[in-house]
Amino acid sequence: MPVISIDNLVKTFGRIRALDGLDLRVEAGEVHGFLGPNGSGKSTTIRILLGLLRRDSGEARVLGADPWRDAVRLHRRLAYVPGDVSLWPNLSGGEAIDLLGELRGGLDRRRRDELLQRFDLDPTRGCRTYSKGNRQKVAIVAAFSSNVELYVLDEPTSGLDPLMEAVFQDEVRRIKQAGATVLLSSHVLAEVEALCDRLSIIREGRTVESGSLTELRHLTRTTVIVETARPVTGLDALPGVHDVHEVDGRTHLEVEPAHLDELLGQLVRFGVRALTSTPPTLEQLFLRHYGDEHVSADDPAPARAQRAGAR
Amino acid sequence: MTALTGTRRLARLVLRRDRIRLAIWVLGTPLLGYALAGSVAGIYPDEAARQGYATTSASSLVARAFNGPIAGTDVGAVVVAETYVTLALIVALLSTFAVTRHTRQNEETGRAELVGASVVGRYAPLTAALLVVVAANVAAAALLAVALAGAGLPLAGSLAAAGAVGGVGVACTGVAAVTAQVSVTSRGANALAGAVVGLSFVLRAAGDVLGDTSADGTRVESAWPSWLSPLGWGNQVRAFGGERWWVLALPVALLLAAVALAYALAERRDQGAGLIAPRRKAATAATWLLSPAGLAWRMQRGALLGWAVGIAVLGVSMGVAADEFNAMIEQNPAAAEAINAMGGGADLLDAYLAAMLGLFALTIGAYVVQALLRVRGDEADGVLEAALATAVSRTRWLGTQVLAAALGAFALLLLAGLTTGLGYGLVTGDPLGEAIALGGAALLRLPALLVVAGVVTALFGLLPRRSVVLSWTALLVFLLLGQLGAVLELPQAALNLSPYTHVPSVPAVDPAVLPLVVLTTVAALLLVTGAAAFRHRDVPS
């Protein structure tokens, strides 16, 4: 049974349709990346999963329960780090951690002290004097000091330095090893690449892709740079080949993975001297979904087909 | 590019952000002045009544401490004695909050950083805030002068009285400009400025109590401490009693000096920093803190302590004054009637005590509103989201806040009754007995406060975005109905809107059970409605 399952979720705020038929499935024990441009509905989805917002229609189950009706019971089994942490200004950081942990049903004191040290956080300072990064650390320490089944992390590392980012990744691996499930919303692609088993990309309140990173890579074009003895012709006529242009006597082009064979068949006729083929980077994958309309309008068919096949 | 570049643009931003607050301030103060002047003039219509009022006010130490020095028997002088301190305190707090809101609060939230990185001079944000707040004070004072003259008072005196009130606002603007540089938090800046206002109240009260009475017994010449107090300066203008116009230069001088100091401090400190360093705090939470109730106590205890001190001081003073009041009403039947309208009942002394307890109940209503609206503040900040993502239900969270506010109201009411009884008993010789009797009488007002809590809770559940404004408006309406309704002879149906109208006015009348049961039921219904609405709405919304 999936830990999180969302089907056709809709949420509107007045006339704005924040979620427009969103689907999401997170399996037990996986770290699931949750990606999408700003304003695409990630935080709204997470708030519905926490029972803070009420869904308009669609299905949402967390750990087999209804997040709205069973909010309190569920919250004992999950920990949450918001993207923009705000704390009680007159409590110290240590007091805020203890309070949040206790309200959730208790925390592991030894873990708490260890995490304070690892994240280099001074618990005696007042919450109002903390920078954004330090407030973020308070929420992270409070969440990771509790032993729960599900961690919901909404851009948890925004404001952390690279050293702390590494500590954070260590901690996520640790809780994963302990068998917990993680939903990780993030804009840090390196973090997603390093941690996530599977990911879902959403845009304008809908899921546009979902699958493992390898699966998603297949959906995107490979970049090919080729140097040939004679000038190459006839590439534009090939299926699945795009954006052909010459740079310093080399031919640059992009090709859909399914059409690599035809491309190579054509190229060998012109005497290949050098060839590099680069799989799509995660960044390209994102830009494709985050960015301009025309990329997705250009060739929606393979992406859609693959997505249906992905799972 | 100078240190003042962008001031005009920022001043327009302040005006835009505060257009509603400023309008209420600039129009509300004159309206309040007009209403108060009219009702006071009605209570003391002839020279004989005013003679009695003036001699009593001059001889009563409590009247001197709370109303300031009386300046003769002109009807305007009586109006000033009855209204000046109230209006001055309102203007003082409005000016303080406005300055802090547009200076330190912007630094605290980081908005100032965003603005400061653009083409804006170092002094521009402070200068823009000061310009608008001073302009608001001047405009409110000008309209107040028109209102007082319109109520039939002499023009010169009206100008002087309005100038005195406006002067307090201007002086406090200067004070707040400095405290905004000193404290890192806007709460702290307001608290510091509030402490200065409190200190000037005490200095003025001391100076006025220690002052000399004139030969005819209708005037008081304050002693030197009053001259150290910006609140006292307004009295020294002596509106309607031989105006001393030059005194109006004092608040202006204070403003200029304070602004110079504020600029000097701003020049020497970093953006976002203050002069008071933040303290180290506990690294781990005490066990009692680790629950919604513990957190509510931690959040409320500072405010509660401040309220307790203020109420205890006022309570003892009002109790002591009860005896002097006895002497005064023998001389002025009209005043007696006004008290009777507020307190109700046959025995005037009991009516006075009942009226005082009623006033306390209204004031404590402000505590209830402020305490409960913290939930809304937490929701707007995002703290509520973090709390509700834990294993605490919405009902428990809100219920704890309501319970904390209700317990606070209970404690403050009891304290008000005990201290009033203690003060009265000290004069009459039975402090313990009177304290117990009035303590019990005060607690009968609790159901009205529960209704206030119910109104705030219902608004928070149903109309969260409007709950702050609407809650304070509701309390203000209750206040106006209770204090001015009878004097202005409003219809009973209007008076019935306020829960305070329905509280039996003990000790002036016998306690009745039915109204208390009805009030408590209404409160329970409002609370349940609010909690149910909160359980079914989005957070944050």
What is the strand order of the sheet A181-185 is part of? Answer: A78-81, A150-154, A181-185, A31-35, A198-203, A206-212
Of A20-34, B330-344, B522-536, minimum mean pLDDT range: B330-344
Mean pLDDT of B16-42: 89
Give contacts of B279 with chain A, Cβ < 8 Å. 126
Domain residues for the domain of B66 are 1-273
| B281: in domain | no
What are the Cα distances from residue A34, in Å, to A88, B291, B311?
Answer: 28, 32, 55
Is B514's pLDDT higher than 90? Answer: yes
Same structural domain for residues B67 and B136?
Answer: yes
Q: Is the domain of A48 the same as that of A125?
A: yes
- At which of A186, A216, A246 does a domain end? A216
Give residue A162's pLDDT. Answer: 92
pLDDT at residue B330 is higher than 70: no
**Whether A256 and A149 share a structural domain:** no
**Which residue type is seen at B141?**
A
Name which of B259-263, B267-271, B274-278, B312-316 the model is least confident about: B274-278
Q: Among the three residues A189, A216, A243, which one is the final residue of a domain in this structure?
A: A216
Same domain, B334 and B245: no
Question: DSSP letter at B466?
Answer: G
Instruction: Quickly tell me which residue has 């257009």 as its tokens.
Output: B19
Q: What is the CA radius of gyration of chain A?
A: 23
- A75 with A117, same domain: the answer is yes
pLDDT at site B216: 87
Handedness of CA B108, B111, B112, B117 (dihedral sign): positive
What's the pLDDT band for B328 if we cut at 50, 70, 90? low
A295 part of a folded domain? no
Judged by phi (left if over 0) then psi (alpha if -120 to 50, else beta), residue A23 lies in beta
> What pLDDT, on a 0 to 100 scale, did the predictor assign at position A301?
39
CB of B185 less than 8 A from some CB of A: yes
Decide which of B247, B273, B299 is a domain's last residue.
B273
Q: What is the pLDDT along chain A (311 residues), one digit of tens a residue?
A: 899 999 999 999 989 999 999 999 999 999 999 999 888 999 999 999 999 999 999 999 999 999 999 999 999 999 999 988 989 988 999 999 999 999 888 899 999 999 999 999 999 998 888 888 999 999 999 999 999 999 999 999 988 999 999 999 999 999 999 999 999 999 888 899 899 999 999 999 999 989 998 888 777 788 899 999 988 888 888 888 888 888 888 999 988 888 888 899 999 999 999 999 887 777 777 777 776 544 443 444 344 334 333 33
B29 and B161 in a common domain? yes
Token representation of residue B315: 């309570």
CA distance linking residue A9 with residue B528, whole number of Å: 31
Residues of A in contact with B184 (CB under 8 A): 128-129
User: Which residues lie closer than 8 Å to A189 by C-beta, 6 or more apart?
Assistant: A282, A283, A286
Contacts of B283 in chain A (CB under 8 A): 92, 94, 123-124
| Contact of A290 with A36, CB cutoff 8 Å | yes
Task: Please give the Cα distance from B21 to B262 (Å, whole number).
Answer: 25
| Interface contact B393-A71, CB threshold 8 A | yes
Q: Which CATH number belongs to the domain containing residue A146 in this structure?
A: 3.40.50.300
- Give me the CATH number covering residue A274: 3.30.70
CB-CB under 8 Å, B385 with A103: no
Closest by Cβ to B283, choosing from A53, A75, A94: A94
Same domain assignment for residues B223 and B356: no
Is residue B283 included in any domain, yes or no? no
Q: Give how far Cα A227 sits from Cα of A230, A268, A270, Å.
A: 9, 11, 9
Question: A287 lies in a domain?
Answer: no
Whether residue B265 is found in the same domain as residue B302 = no
Assigned domain for B148 exists = yes
Same domain, A234 and A130: no
Within its chain, how far is the Cα of A122 from the centroid? 30
**∠B495-B499-B505 over CA atoms, to 5°?**
85
Which tokens belong to A7?
């089907």
Cβ atoms within 10 Å of A265's Cβ, excluding its own = 10
Please tell me whether residues B151 and B231 are part of one structural domain: yes
Residue B280: inside a domain: no
Phi, psi of B141 (to 5 degrees): -65, -40
**B282 in a structural domain:** no
CA distance B292 to B272: 31
Separation between Cα atoms, residue B277 and residue B182, nearest integer Å: 10
In DSSP notation, B161-187 reads HHHHHHHHHHHHHHHHHHHHHH-SSHH
Any CB–CB contact under 8 A between B538 and chain A?
yes
Residues in chain A: 311
A257 preceded by a cis bond (ω within 30 of 0): no
Burial of B208 (0-12, 13-18, 19+ CB in 10 A): buried
Give the domain range for residue A8: 4-216
Q: Most B CBs within 10 Å: which of A43, A99, A138, as the mutation test of the B interface?
A: A99
Q: How many residues does chain B have?
A: 541
Q: Is B315 helix (H, G, I), strand (E, B) or coil?
A: helix
Nearest Cα neighbor of B173 from B125, B144, B137 is B137
- For residue A177, is it within any domain? yes
Q: Which of B273, B300, B319 is the last residue of a domain?
A: B273
Q: Are residues B22 and B145 in the same domain?
A: yes
Say if CB A209 and CB A296 are below 8 A apart: no
Look at B283 and A53 and tell me if their CB atoms are within 8 Å: no
Q: What is the pLDDT of residue B338?
A: 66
Give the whole-angstrom CA distance, residue B171 versus residue B203: 15
Domain-terminating residue out of B273, B301, B332: B273
Q: Answer whether residue A47 is part of any domain.
A: yes
B5, two tokens? 């570049």
Whether residues B193 and B164 fall in one domain: yes
Reported as a single tens digit per residue, the pLDDT across B340-383 is: 666 655 677 888 888 889 889 988 999 999 999 999 999 998 89
CB A56 within 8 A of CB A21: no
Give the distance from residue A49's alpha carbon to the nearest chain B alpha carbon, in angstroms. 10
Q: Which residue of B has its CA nearest to A90?
A: B299
Do residues A116 and A259 both lie within one domain? Answer: no
Q: Which of A82, A89, A129 faces B385 most closely, judged by CB atoms?
A: A82
A236 and A208 belong to one structural domain: no
Check residue B160 and give its pLDDT.
96
* A305 occurs within a structural domain: no
Placement of tokens 């003892």 in the chain: B316
* Together in a domain, A153 and A254: no
pLDDT for B59 equals 82
> In Å, how far are A124, A131, A194, B186 from B287, measured between CA atoms?
16, 27, 39, 29
Among B283, B386, B538, beta carbon nearest to A123: B283
The verdict on B255 and B292 lying in the same domain is no
Query: Quick one: average pLDDT of B428-457?
Result: 95
Residue at A292 is within a domain: no
Same domain as B255, residue B298: no
Whole-model pTM: value is 0.80
Say yes or no: A272 and A179 in one domain. no
Dihedral, CA atoms, A155, A157, A159, A162, nearest 10 degrees?
Answer: -150
Instruction: Look at A103 and B290 and tell me if their CB atoms are within 8 Å.
Output: yes
For chain B positions 376-405, those within 8 Å of chain A (CB to CB) are: 381-383, 385-394
**Pick from B121, B116, B99: which is nearest to B4 by CA?**
B121
Q: Structurally, how many domains does chain A consist of?
A: 2
pLDDT tens for each residue of B471-489? 988 998 898 787 666 656 7
Co-location of A178 and A271 in the same domain? no
* Residue A87 lies inside a defined structural domain of this protein: yes
Q: In what order do the strands lie in the sheet with A272-278?
A: A241-247, A250-255, A222-228, A272-278
Inter-chain CB proximity B185 and A124 less than 8 Å: no
- Return d(Cα A133, Cα A120) in angstroms, integer: 11
* C-alpha triplet A150, A156, A158: angle, nearest 5°: 170
Residue A291 in any domain: the answer is: no
- pLDDT beyond 50 at B435: yes
Q: Which long-range contacts (CB under 8 A, 24 or more apart) does B303-311 make?
A: B303/B367, B303/B370, B303/B371, B304/B367, B304/B408, B304/B411, B304/B412, B307/B364, B307/B367, B307/B408, B307/B412, B308/B411, B308/B412, B308/B415, B311/B360, B311/B363, B311/B364, B311/B412, B311/B415, B311/B416, B311/B419
Residues B335 and B265 in one domain: no
> Chain A contacts of B388, Cβ < 8 Å?
50-52, 71
Pick from A177-186, B89-98, B300-309, B517-526: least confident? B300-309
Residues A243 and A187 occupy one common structural domain = no
Cα of A183 to nearest chain B Cα, Å: 15
Domain match, B261 and B326 both: no
**For residue B87, is it within any domain?**
yes
Find out whether B449 and B367 touch, Cβ atoms under 8 Å: no
How far is the C-alpha of B416 from the C-alpha of B360, rounded, in Å?
A: 7
Domain count, chain B: 2
Residue with tokens 């962008």: B6
Question: Residue B410's pLDDT is what?
Answer: 97
A206 lies in the same domain as A173 = yes
- Using a CB–CB cutoff of 8 Å, tell me whether B303 touches chain A: no
- Cβ A204 vs Cβ A222: under 8 Å: no
- For every residue of B326-357, DSSP letters joined together read HHHHHH-HHHHHHHHHHH-SS-HHHHHHHHHH
What is the Cα–Cα distance from B356 to B335, expressed in whole angstroms?
15
Q: What tokens does B464 get?
A: 């969260």
